[in-house]
Chains A and B, each alone.
Chain A
Amino acid sequence: MDFFKRHFFVPLFAVVGLVIIAYVGVQGNLQILFGVVAPYMAALIFVEGLVYRLITWARSPVPFRIPTTAAQNRSLPWIKKNLGEKLDNPETTGHVVGRMALEVLAFRSLFRNSRTELRQDTEDPESARLIHWSYKWLWLGAIAFHYAFLVVILRHLRFFTEPVPMPIQLLEHVDGFFQFFVPAIYLSGVVMVAALFYLLARRVTNPSMRYISLAADYFPLFLILGIGISGILMRYVYKVDIIAVKELALGLVTLHPVVPPGIGPIFYVHLFLVCVLFAYFPFSKLMHAPGVFLSPTRNLANNNRWVLHVNPWNYPVKFHSYEEYEDKYREAMIEAEIPVEKES
Chain B
Amino acid sequence: MAKVPSPAEILPGSYRPPQKGWMDVKPDFREGTYCNPASPKWMEWVGYPFPSARSVPNEEWGLPKDWKEIVLQGMEDRLNRFRSLKLFFDICVRCGACADKCHFFLGTGDPKNMPVLRAELLRSVYRRYFKKIGQALGEIAGARDLTEDVIKEWYFYLYQCTICRRCSVFCPYGIDMAEMTLLGREMLASIGLNIDWALASVGQCYDKGSHIGATPQAFKDMIDFLAEENERVTGITTTPSYNRKGAEVLFIMPSGDYFADPGTYTMMGYMLLFEHIGLDYTLSTYAAEGGNFGWFISHEMGKRLNAKMYAEAKRLGVKWILGGECGHMWRVCNQYMPTWFGPVDFLEEPVSPITGTRFENATVHKMVHISEFTADLIHHGKLNLNPMRNAHIKLTFHDSCNTARGMGIFEEPRYIINNVLPEGNFVEMPPNTIREKTFCCGSSSGINANENMEIRMQGGMPRANAVKFVHDKYGVNHLGCICALDRATLPTLLQYWVPEVEVTGITELVGNALVFENEMERTMDLRDRDLVGVGETEEAEEDE
Contact = CB atoms under 8 A, between A and B. Distances in A.
Contacts of B407: 69, 73, 302
B312 A304 contact: no
A5 B304 CA distance: 49
A205 interface: no
A217 B116 CA distance: 13
Interface stretch (A25-33, A262-270, A314-322): A314-322
Identify which of A125, A206, A285, A304 gathers the most chain B CB atoms within 10 Å of its CB.
A304
B363 A306 contact: yes
B20 A3 contact: yes
A63 B142 contact: no
B111 A211 contact: yes
B133 A283 contact: yes
Contacts of B300: 317
For the side of the interface on B, what is the size category?
A: 35 or more
B308 A72 contact: no
B15 A61 contact: no
Given A73-B361, A292-B172, A339 B207 contact: no
A214 B304 contact: no
A311 B334 CA distance: 15
Identify which of A65, A69, A112, A314 gathers the most chain B CB atoms within 10 Å of its CB.
A69
B2 interface: no
B307 interface: yes
B8 A287 contact: no
Nearest to B341: A314
Contacts of B308: 319-320, 322
B411 interface: yes
Interface in A261-317: 283, 285, 287-288, 291-292, 294-298, 302, 304-311, 313-314, 317
Contact of A109 (B20, B174, B361): B174
Contact of B83 (A57, A128, A213, A285): A57
Given A296-B84, A339-B245, A304 B408 contact: no
B128 interface: no
Identify which of B171, B307, B408 gathers the most chain A CB atoms within 10 Å of its CB.
B408
Contacts of A57: 83, 86-87, 90
Interface stretch (B92-100, B508-516, B524-532): B92-100
A113 B99 CA distance: 11
A297 B361 contact: no
Interface stretch (B212-220, B229-237, B484-492): B212-220
15 contacts: A2-B19, A60-B81, A68-B165, A71-B435, A76-B379, A116-B101, A206-B96, A208-B15, A292-B174, A297-B174, A298-B173, A304-B365, A311-B339, A314-B340, A338-B285
Given A138-B96, A142-B95, A217-B93, 9 more contacts: A3-B24, A60-B81, A61-B83, A74-B361, A75-B372, A214-B141, A296-B83, A296-B84, A333-B217
Interface of B: 6-8, 11-17, 19-24, 47, 79-87, 90-97, 99-101, 106, 111, 114, 116-117, 120, 133, 139-142, 165, 168-176, 179, 206-209, 215-217, 220-221, 242-245, 285-286, 299-300, 303-305, 307-308, 311-312, 315, 334-336, 338-340, 342-343, 357, 360-365, 367, 372, 375-376, 379, 404-412, 415, 430, 432-433, 435-437, 461-462, 465-466, 469
